[in-house]
Amino acid sequence: MSYQCDILIVDDEPIVGDRLKAFIKKDGHRVETFVDPSAALKRLEEKDFDIVISDIRMGEVDGIQVMQHVFQSSRRTKVIMITGYATLELARESLTKGAFDFIAKPFKLKEIRRTIEKAMESLEKSSPRISREAVVG
Amino acid sequence: MTIVMISSMHQSGREDLAQALARKTGWPVLSREEMLDGARKLGIKMGRLEMAMLKAPGLSEKLAREKEVYLAFLTATLCEKTRRGNLIYHGRAGHLLLPGVSHRLRVGLTAPQEVRIKRTAQALNLTPDKAETYLSQLDEDVAKWIRYIHRVDGRDPNHFDLFLNLENMGLSNAAGILCSTAELPDFHPTPVSLKLMEDLNLSSQTKLRLALDERTLQADLQVHADNGVITVTYPPDQAKVASCIPQVLTELPGCREIQCTMAETNILWVQERFDPKSENFGRIIRLAQRWGAAVELMRLIPAEEAPMGVEGAAGESEYGYGRRGCALADDGGVQDDEPERSVDDGGMDRTQEELVDLGRFGGRHTVCGDYDQVLTRVQTSGRYTLVVIGEMFMSKGNSARMRQTRELALNIRDRLKAPVITADELKSQLLFGKRQAAALLGYLVLTVFIYAIVFANQKPILDFLGGSLHQNFKVLAAVAVAVFSPVLAFVYGNVSGLTLKIINVD
């Protein structure tokens, strides 16, 4: 059994959002994708998401800023950082600032699924809110 | 031409020192970050390599290959840049690059922890506590990275020419010290160091070309460059790539001649389960390093334990990995899943990774069935300098195991006409350890004793062999000679054999 999550994906490369959305939706989650981080920030002000998947390098607003914005409104949200420019320094910075996980591109789809599952487990432990809608997996 | 390599942990001031030195000297500066960008543009999976330090289970032979390509890229880039003149490079472990080149000044740099914490807190907008945690975790990660990439302890003072502590020294003075040290004749290029740079450059360029070309990227090739002559060695079962190598290396700058040779010294290691931490692995690696040989792995899965659908009974060579199909432009870096591989690979992946890392990997095969399948596979695989039979037939009783291992060894020896040895015999016959040292001492004492007895009693011995005594003991003298000669030959032979082992002559 797995649970439905609200997931927001923000990456300035449209193909990343498209591919992730198509894959993650198969697991029954509700997914919203954004290529413009400013638009994503606006949406985050309107709604609390369970999981946010964010690219790090995105022009004016970077992934770290997105994460900090998420935490201002919802401390329970799990933020997964993805980047094609992964370094130990950047990964440690993200994790120190509260990212749930840090994934280097290129990655396999199963890797993101595993990370989402772990994030869901963590959400379940920390907050019962996730258990609102069960879906048979 | 002077090369200054400044290495330090994060936020210790290496970039500032490099810039201060550049202001004093006018030399160009190259940073690790610029190198990373260049490596990424070539398609080297830097992110995967770096993240492997945080997610250890992700280490694999694929990453070990990626590491080799990354090192080749670093070496080639540094060689190219320094060809134009002086260079200041700063990074995590720049002092470990261009090994053996005497005209590089290897500088270590450290700063007080509180200064590092303050800088980190400012740069990343963290509280001092968080900055301290960040630094301590990052230092661990970087130390692990250096061990993985260079296989040495990055802080080992033996790898530095100079180590500076910025606690009581200003950047300008530190740069002054570097400037005057770099001017010492000890760090001036010599014909030998320049030739080494040329050879390093050529071999790195060759490795890069081969690793980035679709025709050769899957091959396990050893590259050596000397005075413009490139020697590329390939394992016997990858002979197909040999014809592509000259095409891939066409018009490589600095290359006068390309020699493609099949590895003559190949060790085939047949076993049921592999473990890179085992004693057998250590022994085989010692031998492979001594001979400059590649090690080919062959795993036998007994028929009753063979997983369904993993491989046919005849077994197949396993090279199936694609490395460069990772351009972010095609899929944004979100790749489709590959079919899951067998979970239990008998330790092959870890052993292969270690062999690739040591530059000794010569291929791998898995064979399902009994030893007939091993024999068939061995016969089609190629030539071997030595076949090592490790732990086999583990599900059988001790006597059956020994008998079957012996039979397998005899059959392989008959079919391949190659020396076959068990892992247990390997140490006693080809390697020199404590037991061999004790044996050498014993045989040496015995030899000296025999010679002392003989030379101290020459007259009675000669009398016994051909003088007046001989007339009375003709038969006994003949028997004594018949017994004494082989005993002396055996004892003296052991002394010679063990002595030759010490100097690596087998």
User: If you average pLDDT over every residue of chain A, what do you get?
Assistant: 89
Residue A11 near chain B (CB below 8 Å): yes
Please list every residue in chain B whose beta carbon sits closer than 8 Å to the beta carbon of residue A71.
Answer: none
Residue A20 near chain B (CB below 8 Å): yes
Q: What is the dihedral of CA A102, B134, B117, B165, to 10 degrees?
A: -100
Which residue among A13, A19, A84 sits closest to B47, beta carbon to beta carbon? A84
CA B351 – CA B355 distance, rounded (Å): 6
Which residue among B130, B133, B332 sits closest to A19, beta carbon to beta carbon? B332
> 3-class DSSP state for residue B169?
coil
User: If you average pLDDT over every residue of chain B, what do you get?
Assistant: 84
Q: Look at B32-36, B346-350, B446-450 and tell me which has the smallest mean pLDDT.
A: B346-350
Which of B54, B144, B334, B340 has the highest number of chain A CBs within 10 A, making it the mutation to test binding with A? B334
DSSP one-letter code for B338: P
Which residue among A85, A88, A106 sits closest to B141, beta carbon to beta carbon? A88
**Burial class of residue A128, CB neighbours in 10 A (0-12, 13-18, 19+):** exposed
**Which pLDDT score is estimated for B163?**
96
Residue B481, amino acid: V
Query: What tens digit of pLDDT does each residue of B55-70 get?
Result: 865 556 678 888 999 9
Size of interface A-B (CB pairs under 8 A): 92
Write the class of the CATH domain B266-319+347-430. Answer: alpha beta
Q: Are B3-192 and B266-319+347-430 in the same CATH fold?
A: yes
Q: Label residues B216-233 b or e (16+ Cβ within 10 Å = b).
A: bbbbbbbbbbeeeebbbb
A23 strand-pairing partners: none
Which of A12, A15, A64, A88 has the highest number of chain B CBs within 10 A, making it the mutation to test binding with B? A88
Taking CA atoms, B84 is separated from B1, B81, B134, in Å, by: 8, 6, 39
**Which pLDDT score is estimated for B323?**
41
**Which pLDDT score is estimated for B322?**
35
Nearest to B347 by CA among B410, B277, B431, B242: B277
Please list every residue in chain A whose beta carbon sits closer than 8 Å to the beta carbon of residue B336.
Answer: 108-109
Which residue among B50, B53, B333 sits closest to A106, beta carbon to beta carbon? B333
Cβ contact, residue pair B331, A106, below 8 Å: yes
CATH of domain B3-192: 3.40.50.300
CA A9 – CA A12 distance, rounded (Å): 10
Q: Which residue of A has its CA nearest to B338?
A: A108
Query: How many residues are listed for chain A in this entry?
Result: 137
Domain boundaries, chain B: 3-192, 215-262, 266-319+347-430, 434-502
> 3-class DSSP state for residue B388?
strand
Q: Which residue of A has its CA nearest to B43?
A: A106
Q: Which residue of A has its CA nearest to B125?
A: A97
Domains belonging to chain A, first-starting first, are 2-135 (3.40.50.2300)
Taking CA atoms, B486 is separated from B95, B489, B500, in Å, by: 57, 5, 20
Residue A93 near chain B (CB below 8 Å): yes
Digit-by-digit pLDDT tens for chain A (137 residues) are 457 899 999 999 999 999 999 999 999 999 999 999 999 999 999 999 999 999 999 988 999 999 999 999 888 999 999 999 999 999 999 999 999 999 999 898 999 999 999 999 999 887 655 444 444 33
Which residue among B50, B134, B145 sits closest to A86, beta carbon to beta carbon? B50
